[in-house]
Amino acid sequence: MGKAREKSQILRFRVYGPLYSNDALETAPTGMSKKNKLIIIFYNHQLLLFLYNRKENGKIVGIIPFPDALSTDGLSISIPAEAKKLKEIILVLPDYVAGNSIYPFTSEKRSIAEPFIRRKLTETFPASPDISEFFNFSNFKTAMEPASIYAFYLKESIAFLVYNRLSEAGLRPDRITTPGYIWQDKIAKNADHESGKSFCIIHPLVDECQLYFYVNGNFLFSRTIKLPGPSEGNKEKLDALAFEISQSLYLFSQKVKSEISTFYIVPSTDIDEKGLSEKIGKNIQSIVTDSKEILTAGNKNLMPGPFSAFSLADIDSTTIPAISHRAVVMEKFWHTVQLTGIITGVLTLILLCAETAYFSYWSNRNILPKTASMSKDINDNRMIVGHYNEMLDLVMNERERPDPADIIAGIALSLPEKVTARELLFNLDAPSQVVIKGIVRADGPDSIKLTLSEMVEGLTLNLKPNRPPVIGDIGFDMEGSAVDQLIQGYKFHIKVDMK
């Protein structure tokens, strides 16, 4: 490995959120606000409940043990009353409960992608049906994978247990995330030039160190490294960390066949950044958080382990990659539709009432003839507007239809030398189609298959159809080929479904 540069760059994060202190914890208002949220952190089989509002001080309202055998009634009794009244709930779980996969996928439509991912998860995890209910995804393109889906999901039974127990106790989480995804959001906001690349975050703690690895800006995996105890010196900690990072880099390269381009480290008095940079042969950038938000009680940090680098504002960010139960996703979707319908109905009612009041007022002033004339003008104007709307719809439909000239040019580019097109049939009404009839000249079956495969690949590349054609879509007219001795080949036809 090459020698690392002596000076480390510094990546500075600014956290815009309320400041927390001992006084904030003791004097935080108990009154409920509509904008209050409940942030629940699950760590070491404990539930930490934080009441949070961006405009007010936040506070911790409960620390509840969560053994696997805890009953729903027992959990419900332990939850503070003020927490039960909150509607928006964010659940933060450790990284190990989440998994991710990258699937080749050309379409960017959610209506197609979601069933595809659900089917993939069901096939991959047949013994865990809950996984297909807890997932999310994003589309991305790279030079190696021009069209792919990054799917992330919950995979450990403890995650489903925590979610179900909280839901039964009246605290159904709206969003579920992990430290790895929170870091992903922080890097994307503060280092845009690196967020689309592969990078590593090093977060040293008192007796352990968290390593986070990202590919193309997406979280891949994390590791918890146990560091030597207090009796050992900082050199031993540095050696142990450097060794584990090297092992993790090998694991990363095995998984994604690429290398880490950038390393970040959260500064620590126990880890010499320059020494670590030299040992691993990589330049390391320091992440300096400007936040003074320290949620403490008796000088003891209440944000545990890997969460200690985050503020409640970080966790509350709406741009963090998060997972929701599919039922919650659908519920929110239909809530938006219903709300839009209600608002539209109310506005329509107001306009009708105003129109009724207007005509009633002028009818009382005995000018009904003039009102009738105005009403006629209004109806005429409505008919004119309706006519223009119809014409606009026709124009938009015509613009959306594919251009036959472009289709013909694409077909011409796709035909191999031994294929001749004799007839093209177009159907430009949605869904648009083109039928290609032609002749293929070849010496034998293998040559025919090779030539037609080349044509199919060319049609997929040049026409970009809605469904890529395959060799099985091609039909042959063997009787016609035998009768017509002038064609010197075999007649074929293929139908291509355009967008």
Q: Which residues pair with 214 in a beta bridge?
A: 199, 219
Position 107 confidence tier, pLDDT thresholds 50, 70, 90: confident
pLDDT number for residue 111: 82
Give pLDDT tens digits for 251-264: 999 888 888 888 99
Give the integer Cα–Cα distance in Å for 159 and 155: 7
Give pLDDT tens digits for 440-481: 887 777 888 888 888 888 888 888 888 888 888 888 887 656
Give pLDDT tens digits for 30-87: 444 557 889 999 998 899 999 988 776 678 888 998 875 567 777 888 888 888 888 8
CB count within 10 Å of CB 195 equals 19
pLDDT number for residue 5: 42
- The single residue listed with the structure tokens 């994978």 is 145
User: Do residues 440 and 489 lie in contact, with contact meaning Cβ atoms separated by under 8 Å?
Assistant: yes
Mean pLDDT of the chain: 79
**Six-digit token pair at 49?**
């409940």
The amino acid that residue 437 corresponds to is K
CB count within 10 Å of CB 29 equals 11
pLDDT at 282 > cutoff 70: yes
The pTM score is: 0.61
Query: What secondary structure, in 3-state letters, does the chain show?
Result: CCCCCCCCCEEEECCCCCCCCHHHHHHCCCCCCCCCEEEEEEECCEEEEEEECCCCCCEEEEEEECCCCCCHHHHHHHCCHHHHCCCCEEEECCHHHEEEEEEECCCCCHHHHHHHHHHHHHHHCCCCHHHHHEEEEEEECCCCCCCEEEEEEECCHHHHHHHHHHHHCCCCCCEEECHHHHHHHHHHHHCCCCCCCCEEEEEECCCEEEEEEEECCEEEEEEEEECCCCCCCHHHHHHHHHHHHHHHHHHHHHHHCCCCCEEEECCCCCCCHHHHHHHHCCCEEEEEECCCCCCEECCEECCCHHHHHCCHHHHHCCCCCCEEEHHHHHHHHHHHHHHHHHHHHHHHHHHHHHHHHHHHHHHHCCCHHHHHHHHHHHHHHHHHHHHHHHHHHHHHHHHHCCCHHHHHHHHHHHCCCCEEEEEEEEECCCCCEEEEEEEECCCCHHHHHHHHHHHHHHHHHHHCCCCCCCHHHCEEEHHHHHHCCCCCCEEEEEEEECC
pLDDT number for residue 42: 94
pLDDT number for residue 247: 92
Angle at 416 between CA 411 and CA 417, to 5 degrees: 125
Q: Give the rounded percent of residues in the chain with a pLDDT score beyond 90.
A: 24
Instruction: Classify strands 199-204 and 208-215 as parallel, antiparallel or unpaired.
Output: antiparallel
**Six-digit token pair at 338?**
């219903």
Q: Which residues pair with 440 in a beta bridge?
A: 419, 490
Give the integer Cα–Cα distance in Å for 88 and 78: 19
